[in-house]
Amino acid sequence: MIVFICIVSVLPWLDLSNLSQPDTSQTANIATVMLQTGDWLLPNLPDGQLVHDHPMLYWLVALSSWYQGYVSHLTVYLPGALAFIVIITCTLIFFGRQTRFHEAFIASLFLLTCTGMQSVFLINSGDLLFATFIIIALTQLYRWEETKELKSLPVEVSVLLSGAILTRGLMGVILPLLAFGAYLLALRKYDIRTIFKSLLYMGVSSLFIPALWYVAIWQQGGTELLWKTLSTEFDYFWNINNGDAHNCFYILALLGLGFMPWVVFLVFSLFGMEYRKPTWPQNNVKLFSLVVLIVLLVAFAIIPIKRSSFLLPIYPFITIFIAEYALYITEYRTLCTRLFAGFLATIVLVGLILPTLPPSWNLGLTVEFNPRTALVFGFACIMLAVVYYQMLKRINIKILYATIALTYSVNLLLNVLF
């Protein structure tokens, strides 16, 4: 069901996207050259520019376009959309095996409906793909420790980390191994030497596939191009000349905006809250999630470049805690859930009414109603009615599910309109 919900959330709207965005149009152009020339290592653009960027996204776009022979709106966004679906599904599978399944299910729904995930799958497929490799690699590293106790080096993790390197550079192996190493230290189960050897072997094995790409660059472009490529390994995250440098507190604002509207739900729950001393998680998967969350937040706070899409690897490990807290609030502080549902429903009601008003009253908000828009608009109206109906009942968990469904319908409507 989660896979079906994800598919409906992203795939039908790919053809509505705009290829005029600089990053997207460049990806489409490079993938087109790959298809036309057959050179998938160092494609030469019509303006004479030799492309030596990390190629994973270009390869996947070209593979998606292979059957039709050209790059379209659908195929250029398809890798990012599939990465979106994989992240949600893996979040449910990983946490569903390790925690209460209800928590994992709510966490996957929160992840699916938060603005940070919905706004990025069409804008920055590369960062979404990078996050997918890191998230799956982290979950497999956890299972490696849990089931094999760091024995028998897992090949699948090396392949995943290699994919992250070929997407955004060496940060794709540094970040997950740094987080996993911190988790192993927090477990107090292994000595420093064992941890160091395990991380070293995993890091070295993850470099084999990227090394083949570097060798191919050296064979075609020579030593100068190879050194130029190696010198850009960290530019995407550390090059402050691209205008996205901010201080460390900027990531808090990015996280707050990324987890809308569920941040508002958390704010509602703070009123009248009783303070309790925080406790260290006893569940290993919760400990793992907390350590990964802290380590990656600190790493992104240190990195001068701050983009909302950089934080995507953290999202699943935050949502499991939000889901746990939301279920507690729903069960023991029922008024908060009802207040949030009423607040969200009122805002959505105003947003749905505005386009139907005369132009002089609707603040310039106009909607062109076609069959697709009318269908999604009607679905949002139905979900709005469901929220109001559930608020008349006493089962608060149904109110929470109704607000999630309403948020999902609003995201669909925004995907159609914008």
What are the boundaries of each domain within the chain?
2-250, 333-418
Residues of the chain with pLDDT > 70, as a percent, come to 90
- Tokens linked to 106: 């709510």
pLDDT in tens, 4-37: 999 888 888 777 665 556 567 788 889 999 998 8
Other CB atoms within 10 Å distance of the CB of residue 158:
21
Integer Cα distance of 301 and 297 in angstroms: 6
Distances from the Cα of 359 to the Cα of 319, 354, 355, angstroms: 40, 9, 8
* pLDDT at residue 122 in the model: 60
Q: Which amino acid is at 361?
A: W
Kindly state the average pLDDT of the residues 115-139: 86
- Please report how the helices 56-65 and 125-143 are oriented relative to each other, as an axis angle in degrees rounded to 10: 110
Radius of gyration for the chain, computed over Cα atoms and rounded to the nearest angstrom: 23
pLDDT in tens, 216-257: 889 888 888 888 888 888 888 887 666 677 778 888 888 999
Confidence of residue 113 (pLDDT cuts 50, 70, 90): very high
Q: Which amino acid is at 34?
A: M
Query: In DSSP terms, which residues pair with 44 in a beta bridge?
Result: 50
* pLDDT at residue 231 in the model: 83
Higher pLDDT, 363 or 385: 385
Integer Cα distance of 404 and 96 in angstroms: 19
* pLDDT at residue 24 in the model: 72
pLDDT tops 90 at residue 291: yes
Integer Cα distance of 82 and 9 in angstroms: 11
pLDDT tops 60 at residue 413: yes
N-to-C CA span, the chain: 26
Integer Cα distance of 321 and 338 in angstroms: 21
Nearest to 127 by CA among 89, 83, 69: 83
Say which residues have a Cβ less than 8 Å from residue 61's Cβ, sequence separation at least 6.
27, 28, 31, 71, 75, 76, 78, 79
Count how many residues are written for the chain: 418
